[in-house]
Chains A and B, each alone.
Chain A
Amino acid sequence: MLFCSQEFLLFFLIVFGLYWAISHTRFRVYLLLAASFYFYSSWNQWLALIIVGSTIMDFLIAHALERSQRAGIRKALLLLSVSFNLGILAYFKYLNFFLDALFSSLRLMGLETSIPSLEIILPIGISFYTFEAISYTADIYLRRIKAEKSLANFMLFILFFPHLVAGPIVRARDFLPQVSLHKRWSWMRMQFGAELFLLGLIKKLAIADRMAIIADPIFATPGAYGTVSVWLGVLAYSLQIYCDFSGYSDMAIGIAHMFGFKLGVNFRMPYLARNISEFWHRWHISLSSWLRDYIFISLGGSRGTRWLTYRNLMITMALGGLWHGASWPFVFWGVLHAVLLIGHRILRDLCERSIWLVRGLESYAGNGLRMAATFLVVSLGWVLFRAPSMASALEVYRRMFMAVEGAVVPVSVIAFATTLGCIALAHLFGESGLWKRYSQRLPGEALSLGYAGMALAAALLAPASGKAFIYFQF
């Protein structure tokens, strides 16, 4: 059930109507829980039982963890929870990848083997909810939070349908206190939620899905296209993945707001980042902060020597790459970002020695150049992320940097340029705070026109119905 489907609209209207019709907080929790279970089972009812089972298991472990005072037992319980969650993830997501790697290594050693490929269905959203569960038990272990007493509240934290399948990855300390709070109807909150939902809808339907029409054929058969088309395809994919994923996040946050819940911001105009480190502070914030808090810092963070920091960065980003998908291009994508982050640290240290260089880099032109350079390297990285194989990714790179003739991807220049212009303008308005300042002064009538226009534009410009979100596969 996609957020941008009629099926979801009907589901949402029913749940929304019932939710605000019920005044009792507990019943509202049960309603959301039932709705979330139904939402997840619309993909696969058997896999919905797995998430329920694992959630109950985490709930019990967390309670035992809280009750226990002995360090050894606490560590063992944490280990049990982490292994249990990672075990589920490893089985469903990585088993074929690991088997493939193992048998390939055996073949390299001269042993004749055949790779058994297991037919495993990947439960949707598994990477997101296992990380949420791990952070919960880890926080209890570190005594940052108390174990939730109500199973229903805890299950809602994991199962809450807006963030269930593709994030944002929520933290228990942010979400659980909101569950028990009695929520009052607020038009301002409804407006904010609806505005975010419409923004996400337009990003997904009118931009991401249209960019996919340019990017998909190029990544499917890169060998057929000429240099200009391949560059265009890579640029289109950069916009597609941003609008697809941030569009989903906006919709999720917007829906949550309409139920009175606040989820954390997941994207903060990442293509305006002036360096790769800033990019990761703006892109998929809930994942990057999770990786920072539970992997990078656990490994020692940047407290040790320079080389230890680099090692920690490398491990964190490689795991981050692997989190996205069970294939080598994702791992290399993570490694590439680690290299870029390390490179940025070295460069930053070098630049800081010259005041003139710092001033130049901080000037308008310098900032513009840095943004362009960051966007370029990030876009080059997306090739690894999108290409179905390493060979395919290398072919894309070859065609990007060697002038090659080939087929031309059909693109409407007016539509493409207008889309780019709109994205750039929206970024400028958003980043400078102009939108926030002026939108508060706009009369309700003007805003309503804007909302109807946004919904109409999304309905009109959607190239196809029912194209899934990219991050559903993770």
Chain B
Amino acid sequence: MLTNRRHQRSRRAKKAVLLGAGLFVGLQILLLVVVEGWQPLYADPEYGYRLERLRVLRQKNPQRPSLVILGSSRIGNGFDSDYSNSQCLADTSTRSPTVANLSLTGGTAVWQYLVLQRLIRQGLKPDSVIVEILPGSLLSDKQYFTSEFHFPTHRLRWGDTAALATIVPNQAPRHRWEWLQHNALFPWHAHRFSLLGLYAPAWQVESISPSSKPEFWRQTLSRTGWIAFPVAVPTPEQRRDAEAVAKQAYAPVMSTLQVSTEAETTYREIFRCCRDHRIRIAAVLLMPESDVFRSWYSESGQQHVAKFTEAISKEFDIPVVDARTWIAADQFWDGHHLLVSGARAFTTRVHTRLIQPRTTESVAVPVDVLATKPSLVPLR
């Protein structure tokens, strides 16, 4: 009797442990499949919501070509894609494109390449792109190639690690290992902030950066992916503080600015990828900066940037637009992020000079034509 009861309890314990472990592992696999197959939002909320907006735009306007903006928060705030898109849609001819802003916060060359690759993989290859060059990143992007730098692998999907391996081959095994360790083993833990933000916001940790909260992106991104700067007119104190923060972050890099081989390679890879996939590069942009911000450049740094942009313009035959001096200082928050009024002025100019004229041309430019087109002189 006693042995029988003991045997029953042992069987029950075995079932509880094995089923529990199996269930836990099964749930991990399920989420991994969901993230990899359908829901990039869980891994990278900013990209996920931008992608969602791009999809809607394309579904609504299937006959129109699409123009995608790649870059950092500078172009994310500075380029009012809502305005540009509405101007294009107002044109009844289906030649004018839909315009979507797929810039990412901290979106330097490496991230721009990843976004481009993600779009191609997901069958949302744009017809044309505008690529931002963030001068500071020409030096700082070097960090991605070092073993000390920890890439935020929780934002990646397996396909991204392959794309990353193309541009950062020396760190590829480490990136893949970290991805496996964090994303594949415990996806519920790796994507917990997104999951909590989406399904249990009361349990979201308040102190995490807003960029890790899906709610933040859902609310701040416009229907085309633009982020209108939340402050309309900053007080002098706010601007002074914001500039001090920007100075601390950027001045050391800009005073010693050089073009690292790594950043150069990454940009070339972006342009090569566009050429291979017949994506027209509408322009390469150097975003507006205030006088104060520009004063942090060393003279040699300025020369390095000029030399680099000139070289890529010639090599890939693409228009490089140096817009750094376009906007007055009072239109910035911190010297390099545009306020709404500044963004409107900048977008109008970019739209008129770079996007609108294209509506009369065929947007998908064949490789050979792209290669023989004369490069455009920076607009001043």
Residues of A at the B interface (CB closer than 8 Å) are 6, 186-188, 190-191, 194, 210, 213, 410-412, 414-415, 443-445, 447-452, 455-456, 459-463, 465
Partner of B13 from the list A190, A213, A450, A455 (CB cut-off 8 Å) is A190
Q: Write out the residue numbers on chain A whose beta carbons fall within 8 Å of the beta carbon of B23.
A: 448-449, 451-452
Partner of B202 from the list A186, A190, A415, A452 (CB cut-off 8 Å) is A415
Partner of B16 from the list A444, A459, A463 (CB cut-off 8 Å) is A444
Complex-state Cα separation, A412 to B200, whole angstroms: 11
Known: A213-B205, A461-B192. 9 other contacts (CB 8 A): A6-B181, A194-B20, A412-B206, A414-B203, A443-B12, A448-B19, A448-B22, A460-B192, A461-B196
CB under 8 Å from chain A, chain B span 172-224: 181, 185-186, 188-189, 192, 195-196, 202-208
Partner of A459 from the list B11, B12, B13, B188 (CB cut-off 8 Å) is B188
User: Would you give the shortest CB distance from B134 to chain A, in whole angstroms?
Assistant: 29
CB under 8 Å from chain A, chain B span 1-40: 9-24, 27
Q: Are B24 and A455 interface neighbours, CB within 8 A?
A: yes
Partner of B15 from the list A444, A455, A459 (CB cut-off 8 Å) is A444
In the complex, what residue of chain B is closest to A9 when comparing beta carbons? B185
Q: Are B24 and A452 interface neighbours, CB within 8 A?
A: yes
Q: Are B189 and A188 interface neighbours, CB within 8 A?
A: no
Q: Are A412 and B192 interface neighbours, CB within 8 A?
A: no
Q: Are A447 and B16 interface neighbours, CB within 8 A?
A: yes
Complex-state Cα separation, A406 to B202, whole angstroms: 24
Partner of B14 from the list A187, A213, A450 (CB cut-off 8 Å) is A187
User: Would you give the shortest CB distance from A305 to chain B, in whole angstroms?
Assistant: 53
Q: Which 7 A-B pairs have the closest CB atoms?
A: A444-B15, A451-B20, A448-B19, A447-B16, A448-B20, A191-B13, A452-B23
**18 sample A-B contacts, Cβ–Cβ < 8 Å, listed by A number:** A187-B17, A188-B13, A213-B206, A213-B207, A410-B207, A414-B203, A443-B15, A444-B11, A444-B15, A444-B16, A447-B20, A448-B15, A451-B16, A452-B24, A456-B24, A456-B27, A460-B196, A461-B203
In the complex, what residue of chain B is closest to A198 when comparing beta carbons? B20
Q: Write out the residue numbers on chain A whose beta carbons fall within 8 Å of the beta carbon of B206.
A: 213, 410-412
User: Would you give the shortest CB distance from B213 to chain A, in whole angstroms?
Assistant: 13
Instruction: Tell me whether A462 and B11 are in contact in the complex, defined as CB-CB below 8 angstroms, given that A194-B17, A210-B205 are known contacts.
Output: no
User: Would you give the shortest CB distance from B223 to chain A, in whole angstroms?
Assistant: 30
Partner of B203 from the list A187, A410, A415, A465 (CB cut-off 8 Å) is A415
Instruction: Tell me whether A187 and B13 are in contact in the complex, defined as CB-CB below 8 angstroms, given that A445-B19, A448-B20 are known contacts.
Output: yes
Q: Are B17 and A191 interface neighbours, CB within 8 A?
A: yes
Q: Write out the residue numbers on chain B whose beta carbons fall within 8 Å of the beta carbon of A459.
A: 186, 188-189, 192
In the complex, what residue of chain A is closest to B190 when comparing beta carbons? A459
Q: Write out the residue numbers on chain B whose beta carbons fall within 8 Å of the beta carbon of A462.
A: 189, 192
Q: Are A452 and B20 interface neighbours, CB within 8 A?
A: yes
Complex-state Cα separation, A450 to B11, whole angstroms: 17
Complex-state Cα separation, A460 to B23, whole angstroms: 16
Q: Write out the residue numbers on chain A whose beta carbons fall within 8 Å of the beta carbon of B207.
A: 213, 410, 463
Interface centre among A6, A191, A194 (most CB of B within 10 A): A191
Q: Are A412 and B204 interface neighbours, CB within 8 A?
A: yes
Complex-state Cα separation, A411 to B14, whole angstroms: 41
In the complex, what residue of chain B is closest to A450 when comparing beta carbons? B20
Instruction: Tell me whether A460 and B17 are in contact in the complex, defined as CB-CB below 8 angstroms, given that A213-B207, A412-B202 are known contacts.
Output: no
Complex-state Cα separation, A163 to B132, whole angstroms: 55
Q: Write out the residue numbers on chain B whose beta carbons fall within 8 Å of the beta carbon of A191.
A: 13-14, 16-17
Interface residue tally for chain B (C-beta within 8 Å):
32
Complex-state Cα separation, A365 to B60, whole angstroms: 67
Complex-state Cα separation, A450 to B15, whole angstroms: 12
Complex-state Cα separation, A455 to B186, whole angstroms: 11
Q: Are B15 and A445 interface neighbours, CB within 8 A?
A: yes
User: Would you give the shortest CB distance from B150 to chain A, in whole angstroms?
Assistant: 12
Q: Are B24 and A451 interface neighbours, CB within 8 A?
A: yes
User: Would you give the shortest CB distance from A146 to chain B, in whole angstroms?
Assistant: 34
Q: Are A414 and B202 interface neighbours, CB within 8 A?
A: yes
Q: Write out the residue numbers on chain A whose beta carbons fall within 8 Å of the beta carbon of B192.
A: 459-462
User: Would you give the shortest CB distance from B35 to chain A, in whole angstroms?
Assistant: 14
In the complex, what residue of chain B is closest to A191 when comparing beta carbons? B13
Partner of A188 from the list B9, B18, B188 (CB cut-off 8 Å) is B9
Q: Write out the residue numbers on chain B whose beta carbons fall within 8 Å of the beta carbon of A465.
A: 189
Q: Write out the residue numbers on chain A whose beta carbons fall within 8 Å of the beta carbon of B188.
A: 456, 459-460
User: Would you give the shortest CB distance from B31 to chain A, in whole angstroms?
Assistant: 10
Complex-state Cα separation, A410 to B196, whole angstroms: 17
Complex-state Cα separation, A447 to B19, whole angstroms: 9
In the complex, what residue of chain A is closest to B23 when comparing beta carbons? A452
Q: Write out the residue numbers on chain B whose beta carbons fall within 8 Å of the beta carbon of A452.
A: 20-21, 23-24, 27
In the complex, what residue of chain A is closest to B9 when comparing beta carbons? A188
Q: Write out the residue numbers on chain B whose beta carbons fall within 8 Å of the beta carbon of A187.
A: 10-11, 13-14, 17
Complex-state Cα separation, A191 to B14, whole angstroms: 7
User: Would you give the shortest CB distance from A204 to chain B, in whole angstroms?
Assistant: 14
User: Would you give the shortest CB distance from B261 to chain A, in whole angstroms?
Assistant: 33
Q: Write out the residue numbers on chain B whose beta carbons fall within 8 Å of the beta carbon of A414.
A: 202-203
Complex-state Cα separation, A213 to B185, whole angstroms: 26
CB under 8 Å from chain A, chain B span 297-322: none
Q: Write out the residue numbers on chain A whose beta carbons fall within 8 Å of the beta carbon of B12.
A: 443-444, 447
User: Would you give the shortest CB distance from A201 to chain B, in whole angstroms?
Assistant: 11
Instruction: Tell me whether A6 and B13 are in contact in the complex, defined as CB-CB below 8 angstroms, given that A452-B23, A459-B192, A462-B192 are known contacts.
Output: no
Interface centre among B13, B16, B18, B196 (most CB of A within 10 A): B16
Complex-state Cα separation, A452 to B192, whole angstroms: 16
Complex-state Cα separation, A443 to B21, whole angstroms: 16
User: Would you give the shortest CB distance from B189 to chain A, in whole angstroms?
Assistant: 4
Q: Are A463 and B205 interface neighbours, CB within 8 A?
A: yes
Complex-state Cα separation, A306 to B189, whole angstroms: 56
User: Would you give the shortest CB distance from B41 to chain A, in whole angstroms?
Assistant: 16
Q: Write out the residue numbers on chain B whose beta carbons fall within 8 Å of the beta carbon of A412.
A: 202-204, 206
Complex-state Cα separation, A123 to B202, whole angstroms: 40
Q: Write out the residue numbers on chain A whose beta carbons fall within 8 Å of the beta carbon of B21.
A: 451-452
Complex-state Cα separation, A151 to B144, whole angstroms: 50
Q: Write out the residue numbers on chain B whose beta carbons fall within 8 Å of the beta carbon of A445.
A: 15-16, 19
Q: Are A460 and B195 interface neighbours, CB within 8 A?
A: yes
User: Would you give the shortest CB distance from B57 to chain A, in whole angstroms?
Assistant: 33
In the complex, what residue of chain A is closest to B204 when comparing beta carbons? A412
Interface centre among A194, A456, A465 (most CB of B within 10 A): A456
Contact with A along B251-277 (1 / 0, CB 8 A): 000000000000000000000000000
Q: Are B13 and A444 interface neighbours, CB within 8 A?
A: yes
User: Would you give the shortest CB distance from B206 to chain A, in whole angstroms?
Assistant: 4
Q: Write out the residue numbers on chain A whose beta carbons fall within 8 Å of the beta carbon of B22.
A: 448
User: Would you give the shortest CB distance from B87 to chain A, in whole angstroms?
Assistant: 41
Q: Are A460 and B189 interface neighbours, CB within 8 A?
A: yes
Q: Write out the residue numbers on chain A whose beta carbons fall within 8 Å of the beta carbon of B9.
A: 188
Q: Write out the residue numbers on chain B whose beta carbons fall within 8 Å of the beta carbon of A188.
A: 9-10, 13
Interface centre among B18, B20, B185, B189 (most CB of A within 10 A): B20
In the complex, what residue of chain A is closest to B192 when comparing beta carbons? A460
Complex-state Cα separation, A188 to B7, whole angstroms: 10
Complex-state Cα separation, A448 to B23, whole angstroms: 8
Complex-state Cα separation, A428 to B206, whole angstroms: 30
Complex-state Cα separation, A440 to B50, whole angstroms: 51
User: Would you give the shortest CB distance from A100 to chain B, in whole angstroms?
Assistant: 34
Complex-state Cα separation, A335 to B350, whole angstroms: 72
Partner of B185 from the list A6, A447, A456 (CB cut-off 8 Å) is A6
Complex-state Cα separation, A452 to B196, whole angstroms: 18
User: Would you give the shortest CB distance from B276 to chain A, in whole angstroms?
Assistant: 38
Complex-state Cα separation, A449 to B20, whole angstroms: 6
